[in-house]
């Protein structure tokens, strides 16, 4: 477990009830615009603070690879162009450069069906959870990334444990 855990979200903590549930005006889906771009810039900032250029795919998933119909499903969950072998390249342990990792984060933010954790063993980890809650873990503090994330209009929070 990495010692520095951050939850990054577009949801203002002031709009949470006493149980921590959000009740503000933000939609729980990606806007495919400014908010999504801010999330991606935040991930890039945390990765830069950690000195990360490559990440490994961990625990990848898509709704189903099985097909029983007449024609194969056309949807590649947004992964076809990201891996040399298309969807088959999306497997546990696949290593990707940071730009590809960013596109994987974009796919998860858009809830395209593909999901994974991205990690640099012992240094950095990122994943997108339900309702666009982004979790980032690092081996060292990331004060610069936290400040840049706030400047982007997002809300980074320090957590005691990885959600």
Rounded CA Rg of the chain: 16
Assigned domain for 47 exists: yes
Assigned domain for 129 exists: yes
Residue 79, token pair as written in the block:
């992964």
Whole-angstrom distance, CA of residue 153 vs CA of residue 130: 20
Please give the backbone phi and psi of residue 109, each rounded to the nearest 5 degrees, phi first: -60, -35
Assigned domain for 134 exists: yes
Reading the chain (163 residues) residue by residue, the pLDDT tens digits are 899 999 999 999 999 999 989 999 999 999 999 999 999 999 999 999 999 999 999 999 987 655 544 444 446 888 888 998 888 899 999 999 999 999 999 999 998 888 999 999 999 999 999 999 999 999 999 999 999 999 999 999 999 887 7
Residue 137, token pair as written in the block:
């873990």
* Total H helices, total E strands in the chain: 3, 7
Assigned domain for 83 exists: yes
Give the number of domains in the chain: 1
Please give the backbone phi and psi of residue 85, each rounded to the nearest 5 degrees, phi first: -100, 25
Residue 42 domain boundaries: 4-60+78-159
Assigned domain for 44 exists: yes
Assigned domain for 71 exists: no
Assigned domain for 68 exists: no
User: Would you mind telling me the total number of residues written for the chain in this entry?
Assistant: 163
């Amino acid at each position: 477990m990495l010692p520095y855990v951050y939850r990054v979200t577009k949801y203002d903590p002031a709009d949470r009830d006493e149980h921590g549930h959000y009740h503000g005006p933000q939609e729980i889906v990606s806007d495919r615009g400014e908010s999504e771009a801010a999330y991606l810039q935040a991930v890039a900032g945390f990765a830069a603070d950690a000195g990360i250029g490559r990440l490994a795919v961990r625990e990848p998933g898509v709704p189903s690879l099985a097909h029983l119909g007449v024609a194969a499903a056309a949807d590649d969950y947004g992964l076809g162009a990201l891996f040399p072998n298309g969807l088959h390249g999306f497997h546990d342990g696949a290593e990707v450069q940071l730009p590809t990792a960013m596109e994987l984060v974009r796919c998860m933010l858009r809830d395209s069906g593909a999901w994974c954790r991205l990690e640099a063993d012992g240094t950095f980890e990122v994943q997108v959870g339900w309702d666009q809650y982004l979790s980032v873990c690092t081996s060292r503090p990331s004060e610069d990334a936290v400040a840049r994330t706030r400047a982007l209009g997002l809300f980074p929070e320090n957590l005691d444990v990885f959600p």
